[in-house]
Amino acid sequence: MKPRFLTGLLSLLMPAMVLAGEYDLTVDRVKIDTGDFVKEGIGYNGASPGPVMRFKEGETVKINVTNNLDEMTSIHWHGLILPFNQDGVPGISFPGIKPGETFTYEFPIQQAGTYWFHSHSGFQEPDGAYGAIVIEPEGREPFRYDREFVVQLTDKHPHSGDRIMRNLKMMPDYYNREQQTVGEFFSDASKNGLMNTVRDRMAWGDMRMMKADVEDLQGFTGLINGKGPDQNWTGLFEPGERIRLRFINSSAMTYFDIRIPGLDMTVVQADGNNVQPVNVDEFRIGVAETYDVIVHPKDEQAYTIFAESMGRSGYARATLAPEEGMEAAVPQLRDPARLTMADMSGMPGMDHGSMAGMDHGGMDMGSSEDMSGMDHSSMEGMDHSNMDSMDHSNMEGMDHGSMTMGKEDKSDPFYAKGSGLMPKAANGGKFLSYADLKAQDPLYEDREPTREIELRLTGNMERYTWSINGVKYEDADPIRLKYGERVRFKFVNETMMTHPMHLHGMWSILDVGAGQWNPIKHTVSVNPGTTVYMETEVDAPGQWAFHCHLSYHAAAGMFRKVIVEGGPDSTQAKTDAIAEDGGEV
Amino acid sequence: MSCIRSLVAVSLIASVGFSTAVTAQEMISDTTARKQPLTTWGVQFEEFEYRYSDDDEELGVWNADAFYGTDDFKVRLLTTGEYEIEEQAYETLENQLVGQIPISKFFDAKAGVRFDTPEGPDRTYAVLGVAGLAPQWFEVDANLYVSDEGETSAELDAEYELLLTNYWILAATLDATVAFSEDREIGVGKGLVSTEAGLRLRYDLVDRAFSPYVGVVHEQKYGDTADFAETGGGSTEDWFAVIGARIAF
């Protein structure tokens, strides 16, 4: 009753307190010029990316969105905590915005930080319908900077989203040009021996899985703030300034490894929430994530912001410089990433006996120097027959022990041990891990979760089907949560791809093992062959989307509707009615 | 701190008119395309080529399929033809219309009809087949046919692609046909009927949509089928040089 009393009291004061900002956005067909190609796409206020929306914590915003397309559209405010009918997901939050119609979003801004917005209709987002959101906090920030830039990344592809989806359905490797070739066979054979290489290829061929299956969509041009590498977006600074860079990954499909050679980066925010500062040389940004970093260039020189795709098929590049036109060297792309058997370890129904054997083959192939000192004889002496009965966690533990070989363990616990995707800083320095992320000021009290929900991330690359617990969205019942509970989600990645899982409307408290200091995020990346836990305080009534943020995985079925039952007042009555109808039809 | 923040949030929501009663009434069910099975389509000419034989025979040949459907059910049209350029006549012309459903992780089952309308008598067959990806990356397509004359036969196609580079691809194909009974009218003897083996080197010029190639094809007839061909003055073994393109859209 106390909250209600306070609510009443505050609402009397409200008219004086509420700051109302009104904004207009039009959704338009636009030309997108990447420097490599020009294509038609979708943008906001006549451009892609759209404008940077600057809000203030505590204000109520009113945003008039006018649809100038000849198809339905929508805008989802990615990471914003708001009433569910303002969340902008057609079919879940609202019906969508018809051609020619203006829809007015109106919601209070209850948070601060870096976020973004994008269409949630069809493939409009990969086609260019995205923009940045910057929310100024009410209070003081726990870090200092003199200047700030939004650094918004995307993977702009010459093909339209619809065409990409159709091509992937027709030939799942349509865009993969980093596959293993005859040349790679011979170079592996000379490095690891002919028989080892043959065994390795046979092991992968037996599974019909490709080591090169890291990026479904290649052939893109990486853009930063809408500029391709040759167009070189440049942010100007005065030497000695502290610069806050608000990195946003608005890609359809691409994870980027970001570094600024010559500058240390201090990560101060992840997904809009302040974290305890971490100094890094490089970090990986999953699709839909944001990271705010502070850099402190002291010299009168240019610095390259280099964002290499995780699979190394492409990159985005921008420059920080004291003067327009100055530029620094652009690094070379590193070798294409290759999955290892460790990345396959989440796959069900695999023969563990043969897997153990294969695993060694896979490790032999690894280019990582960590493995060069591996004692093969002792590995072969391992009792494979026992492995059948062993669970994966034990097995990984074992591989891990034998692989690190006494060297300093730089491996990231959020990757399968021996994973081919294990990030490494180009300069040998510090690479950010989820394990480094600790909340600066926890939003929620730490408490025991009320229950656990297991979500297996599943799929079939050859058919290009993606699903959760083996069920595509079209066949799935909604996930029902109860208002007020704290749910622990267990993601088990049974595929060989990385999935950035995004729960709308409520925070994802990522379990990094830091208890009450676990960071809160809106997008949680789950690497192949790993299990990741996150907890959610179910504090937002209504219905919400919950999906993999890779555009073509979500469209292929890795998507769920979440219904939060109960909650304040009459929401209860309505959700009961829905339940009686058997939920969604 | 967190407590205060949530109170402010609650009061904000309440005070600016987002009463939960209103929002609750707008809970809708998802009828968007996302909730429907994804329908897709594709057209592929695996072979679209000119063949020149060691007997100076010239052929125009295609081997194509088009599909439309969802993950759970597709309709597929397969068409294969060999056209003798000099005689201006089809040596073979096969059209299949099949429905296709997934039966395992990597394989689909197919059922439908096949119409053969080459020179000579037409044949209609019932088709039952499986197609998919076998271990070690062999694309296989195995079919059982029963003709309107009651004759049964089987065909196995296999393809393997060797990536010389990510753009230069060497494709090896093997098709073999076996008849379980004789169909004299169309020159088919019992047993192994014929094989066609091909080796094509292609270059992916435009994505995977247009890939010109050159190659060699070997055709061989066996047993009674070979005898029938010889009696009819035809050849039992042919080597072809081929030039063409793989097309997908």
Q: Is 70 exceeded by the pLDDT of residue B6?
A: no
Q: A170 and B42: CB-CB below 8 Å?
A: yes
pLDDT digit string, tens, across residues A153-192: 999 999 999 999 999 999 999 999 999 999 999 999 999 9
pLDDT above 50: residue A396: no
Q: Which amino acid belongs to residue B17?
A: G
pLDDT value of residue A348: 77
Chain B residue whose CA is closest to A110: B9
Q: What is the pLDDT of residue B231?
A: 92
Instruction: Please name the member of B20, B28, B37 whose beta carbon is closest to the beta carbon of A91.
Output: B28
- Which residues in chain A touch residue B172, judged by CB atoms under 8 angstroms apart? none
> In this complex, which of B5, B25, B36 lies closest to A474 when CB atoms are compared?
B36
CB contact under 8 A, B32 and A91: yes
Q: Where residue B185 sits, what CATH number does that domain have?
A: 2.40.160.40
Q: Look at chain B and report how many structural domains it folds into.
A: 1
Burial of A259: CB neighbours in 10 Å, binned 0-12, 13-18, 19+: buried
Task: Inspect the interface and report whether the beta carbons of A94 and B26 lie closer than 8 Å.
Answer: yes
Tell me whether 0.85 is exceeded by the ipTM: yes
Measured distance CA(A554)–CA(A122) in Å, rounded: 10
Verify that A456 and A550 share a domain, yes or no.
yes
Within a 10 A sphere around the Cβ of A377, how many other Cβ atoms? Answer: 7
Lowest-pLDDT choice from A371-375, A552-556, B139-143: A371-375
Q: Which residue of B has its CA nearest to A204?
A: B136
Closest residue on chain B to A218 (Cα) = B207
- The phi, psi pair for A536, rounded to 5°, reads -130, 125
In a domain, A168, yes or no: yes
* Cβ contact A432:A267 at 8 Å: yes
Preferred mutation among A447, A468, A570, A576 to probe B, highest tally of B CBs within 10 A:
A570
Q: How far is CA A301 from CA A19, A231, A239, A263, A317, in A?
A: 42, 19, 8, 11, 16
Contact: B30, A177; criterion CB under 8 Å: no
Q: How many residues does chain B have?
A: 249
Confidence of residue A20 (pLDDT cuts 50, 70, 90): confident
**Is the residue at A22 inside a domain?**
yes
* B16 domain residue, yes or no: no
The per-residue DSSP string of A374-412 comes to --HHHHHTS-GGGGGGS-HHHHHHHHHHHHHTTS-----
In a domain, A585, yes or no: no
Is residue B29 in a domain?
Answer: no
State whether A388 and A251 are in the same domain. Answer: no
Closest CB to B15: pick one of A10, A85, A584: A10
pLDDT digits (tens, 9 = 90+) for B110-137: 999 999 987 778 999 999 999 999 999 9
Is residue A372 very low, low, confident or very high in pLDDT (cuts 50, 70, 90)?
A: very low
**Is B105 in Cβ contact with A60 (below 8 Å)?**
no
Summarised one tens digit per residue, pLDDT across range A184-241 is: 999 999 999 999 999 999 999 999 999 999 999 999 999 999 999 999 999 999 999 9
Residues A455 and A408 in one domain: no
Tell me the average pLDDT across A422-438: 97
Which bin fits B33, alpha (ψ -120 to 50), beta or left (φ > 0)?
Answer: alpha
- Chain B partners within 8 Å of A3 (Cβ): 7, 10
**Nearest-CA neighbor of A387 among A398, A376, A402, A378?**
A398
pLDDT in the model for residue A565: 94
Q: Of B14, B34, B102, which is closest to A7 when you measure between CB atoms?
A: B14
In a domain, B9, yes or no: no
B140 contact residues in A (CB cutoff 8 A): none
> In DSSP terms, which residues pair with A493 in a beta bridge?
A457
Which of residues A115, A140, A165 is at a domain's end?
A140
* A430 shares its domain with A489: no
Q: Are the Cβ atoms of B34 and A465 closer than 8 angstroms?
A: no
- The per-residue pLDDT of chain A, averaged, comes to 87
**Chain A closest CA to B110's CA: distance in Å?**
16
Averaged pLDDT for residues B94-116:
97
In this complex, the residue of B23, B35, B137 whose CB is nearest that of residue A473 is: B35
Tokens in use for A164?
Answer: 């990409």
In total, how many domains does chain A have?
4
Give yes or no: residues A112 and A13 share one domain. yes
pLDDT band at A394 (very low <50, low <70, confident <90, very high): very low
Domain hosting residue B183, numbered range: 41-248
Angle between helices A352-365 and A194-207 (to 10 degrees): 130
- A108·B162 Cβ contact <8 A: no
Q: Are residues A561 and A415 in the same domain?
A: no
Q: Give A107 to chain B, closest Cα distance, Å.
A: 8
Q: Torsions phi, psi of A376, nearest 5?
A: -65, -40
Report phi then psi at B235, rounded to 5: -95, 155
CATH classification at residue A105: 2.60.40.420
pLDDT at position A569: 58
Contact B162 A182 (CB under 8 A): yes
Gap between the terminal Cα atoms of chain A: 37
Shortest CA gap B48–chain A (Å): 19
Taking CA atoms, what residue in B is nearest to A87? B23
A49 and A77 together in one domain: yes
Contact yes or no for A573 and B106 at CB 8 A: no
Domain that holds residue A163: 141-178+214-337+421-441
Q: Which residue of A has its CA nearest to B39?
A: A166
Residue A446 domain-assigned? no
- What is the percent of chain A with per-residue pLDDT over 70, rounded to a whole number? 83
**Nearest residue on chain A to B65, judged by CA atoms?**
A170
Q: Is the pLDDT of residue B36 over 90?
A: yes
**Is B33 among the domain residues?**
no
**Same domain membership, residue A55 and residue A6:** yes
Return the residue in A1, A55, A56, A92 with the most chain B beta carbons within 10 A, the one to mutate for interface testing: A92
Interface with B, mutate which of A84, A198, A312, A547 (most B CBs under 10 A): A84
Q: Do B38 and A568 touch (CB under 8 A)?
A: no
The number of beta carbons lying within 10 Å of the beta carbon of residue A190 is 10
Main-chain phi, psi angles of A344, to 5 degrees: -90, -5
pLDDT confidence of residue B118: 76
Q: Which of A60, A171, A543 sits opposite B208 (nearest CB)?
A: A171
B35 in any annotated domain: no
Q: How far apart are CA A256 and CA A313, in angstroms?
A: 11
Kindly indicate the confidence band of residue A579, based on its pLDDT and cuts at 50, 70 and 90: very low
A227 shares its domain with A307: yes
Answer whether residue A328 is part of any domain: yes
Same domain, A408 and A456: no
Check pLDDT > 60 for residue A360: no
Tokens representing B114 are 């096949």
Are residues B31 and A91, on separate chains, in Cβ contact within 8 Å? yes
Shared domain check, A343 and A262: no
pLDDT above 80 (res A277): yes
Which amino acid appears at position A244 of this protein?
R
Q: Region of A26 please: left (phi>0), alpha (psi -120 to 50) or beta.
A: beta
Contact A543 B27 (CB under 8 A): yes
Rounded Cα distance, A416 and A346, in Å: 9
**How many contacts does A have with B, using Cβ atoms within 8 A?**
170
pLDDT in tens, A520-574: 999 999 999 999 999 999 999 999 999 999 999 999 999 999 999 998 854 444 4
Task: Kindly state whether residue A258 falls inside one of the protein's structural domains.
Answer: yes
Is residue B2 a part of any domain in this protein? no
Q: Which of A297, A301, A258, A299 is nearest to A280 (CA)?
A: A258
| Interface contact B166-A569, CB threshold 8 A | no
Nearest to B19 by CA among A540, A16, A423, A569: A569
Which residues in chain A have their CB less than 8 angstroms from residue B18's CB? 83, 86, 106-108
- In-domain check, residue A38: yes
Per-residue confidence (pLDDT) for residue A384, from 0 to 100:
39
Measured CA to CA, the distance from residue B121 to residue B193 in angstroms comes to 18
How confident is the prediction for chain B on average, in pLDDT? 90
Query: B128 in a domain, yes or no?
Result: yes
Provide the pLDDT for residue A387. Answer: 39
Same domain, A184 and A172: no
Instruction: Say whether A166 and B42 touch across the interface (CB within 8 A).
Output: yes
Give the CA-trace dihedral at A124, A126, A127, A131, to 10 degrees. 80
Residue of A nearest to B133 (CA): A208
Chain A residues within an 8 Å CB radius of B7: 3, 6
In chain A, which residue's Cα lies nearest the Cα of B163?
A181
Structure tokens of A113? 């930080």
**Residues 6 or more apart whose Cβ sits within 8 Å of residue B165:** A181, A182, A183
Q: What is the mean pLDDT of residues B204-212?
A: 97
- Candidates A10, A567, A585; nearest CB to B20: A567
SS3 B74: strand
